[in-house]
Amino acid sequence: MKARVHVMLKDGVLDPQGEAVRHALGHLGFLGVEGVRQGKVIELDLAATDAASAEAEVQKMCDKLLANTVIEKYTVEIV
């Protein structure tokens, strides 16, 4: 079973990487981009066979290591 975790900065948290990308896109001629938020995707291969328990386990992983829950939010997708 696979799990996919999407981690993004929470709304209101400054995203300097996203701003750098927005600025670079403007220099490349893409003038309509008003904002960019950059995040990360983490894919996990799991031995679990039950989707509900796998999702609960991945959420624990996110809370302890994969996401800084003070400034980041995450979603877990079992695929």
Range of the domain at 25: 2-78
pLDDT tens-place string over residues 32-78: 999 999 999 999 999 999 999 999 999 999 999 999 999 999 999 99
Q: What is the pTM of this model?
A: 0.88
Write the CATH number for 70: 3.30.1280.10
> Measured at the alpha carbon of residue 71, what is the angle toward residues 66 and 72, in degrees to the nearest 5?
45
| Total domains, the chain | 1
Q: What is the pLDDT of residue 46?
A: 97
